[in-house]
Amino acid sequence: MASAAEQLASNLNFSAFAKAEELKKRIWFTLGALLVYRLGTYIPLPGINPDAFAQAFNQAQSGIIGMFNMFAGGAVERMAIFALGIMPYISASIIMQLMTTVVPTLEQMKKEGEQGRKVINQYTRYGTVILAAFQAYGIAVGLEGATNVVADPGWFFRASTVLTLVGGTMFLMWLGEQITSRGIGNGISLIIFAGIVAGLPVALVNVLELGRQGSMSTILILGILILAVVVIALIVFMERAQRRLLIQYPKRQMGNRMFEGNTSFLPLKLNTAGVIPPIFASSLLLVPATIGGFSQGSGNEWLTYITAALGHGQPLFMVFYAAMIVFFCFFYTAIVFNPSDTADNLKKHGGFIPGIRPGERTAQYIDYVLTRITVVGAIYITVVCLLPEFLISATGVPFYFGGTSLLIVVSVTMDTVSQIQGHLLAHQYEGLVKKAKLSGRRR
């Protein structure tokens, strides 16, 4: 009986998808935009020796450069025009979110609605250009410092590199906005998603090749695949988990009519901070490894010791990594969710939590509940992100597909699927409205 109902529901969804022409156009537009992005990751910078750069990249890929290469879909490894990826825009967006809580002018602008949001977005774009220019200039200088990588070093190479990389980042930012408005899903997230997923086939082939050569046992490979499925199921469950606070609204009278009070829920996500904490923690901890990689042969024994102690799989690295993830979970949650504003909005609309006095007491209660669920969310993110570290140190798996990447892939997939379902429901609702209008005209 249940299987028949599921089959009927799937048939209805398929028929609704077949009739949803607007949704098909959005999906095709999204796929075309992602294809353009992937093609751009294979267009190299002018004036680069690919073979010499490949040797230099293999020596420094264990640091922050390797993480940027993963998020850029391999563009850093090929030093393509999209080598900076979308990371400068994400950094600028995070900085603007932090500043809106510190600068009173920006905080007031955020409360102005659509007009204030447009101004903040424009400031974010300016910040993206500035960050991308600094990073592109650093890349140009670093390439000139490498051996036989740049054919003709000088200011012309630096200027062309900065213009090319900044232009590539701004094009990706524009492409992401186009996907969001004309496609399906969040464009920026889908670009990062496409870059991460693009490296999965190569990593899987490398693992299978090691199994064929006998370097890794078949049982270990099967165990890794089963563990990946279990972790994905855990991420899906925890990302959907919510703590719902009961909100009641009293009876109210409008004119001569009396309206009954109703109830609703205030959903609080278990993981309010999303993937921001592991991204920040990884970036900060990979800086010493990157500096150590560029400072090889300088004779700094303390720098070599710190770099070795903060390497992947080391106990000190795991301790600092877990501590930073927990810190950023609470820090970012405090930024994106304000219990006082939520309590004030409930009080303005006459809503209250049963047994809790409106106003300051409601804000304290919401903050208390949010703190407790954030503890659970921080533990969940820490476990997901540290699991690959234990796997690397225990089994010596040759590729690194961290918990941050897994969180991004699963979260973006869930968000995109939910948006597709929302478009299907909207299309079915429009069809019902049209049928109702036609039947009304016939009558």
Structure tokens at 289: 């490894």
pLDDT recorded at residue 436: 58
301-318 pLDDT tens trace:
666 666 666 666 677 778
Q: Mean pLDDT of all residues in the chain?
A: 76
3-state secondary structure of 150: strand
Closest alpha carbon to 176 in 88, 54, 77: 88
Asked whether the beta carbons of 381 and 282 are under 8 A apart, the reply is no
Query: Residues 421, 427, 430, 431: is their CA dihedral positive or negative?
Result: negative
**Same CATH topology for 20-213 and 215-425?**
yes
Q: Give the architecture-level CATH label for domain 20-213.
A: Orthogonal Bundle (1.10)
Rounded Cα distance between 119 and 110, Å, is 9
3-state secondary structure of 10: helix
Which pTM does this prediction carry? 0.76
Question: Phi/psi zone of residue 130: left (φ > 0), alpha (ψ -120 to 50 degrees), beta?
Answer: alpha
Q: Above 60 in pLDDT, residue 344?
A: yes
**Distances, alpha carbon 303 to alpha carbons 235, 273, 311, 342, in Å:** 37, 33, 12, 47
Q: Above 50 in pLDDT, residue 9?
A: no
More confident residue, 197 or 397: 197
The residue type of 131 is: L
Domain locations in the chain? 20-213, 215-425
Per-residue confidence at 252, pLDDT binned at 50, 70, 90? low
3-state secondary structure of 80: strand
Q: Give the architecture-level CATH label for domain 215-425.
A: Orthogonal Bundle (1.10)
Per-residue confidence at 321, pLDDT binned at 50, 70, 90? confident
Rounded Cα distance between 71 and 89, Å, is 13
Rounded Cα distance between 315 and 9, Å, is 50
What percentage of residues in the chain have a pLDDT greater than 90?
2
The residue type of 87 is: M
Mean pLDDT of 276-292: 69
pLDDT recorded at residue 148: 72
More confident residue, 391 or 159: 159
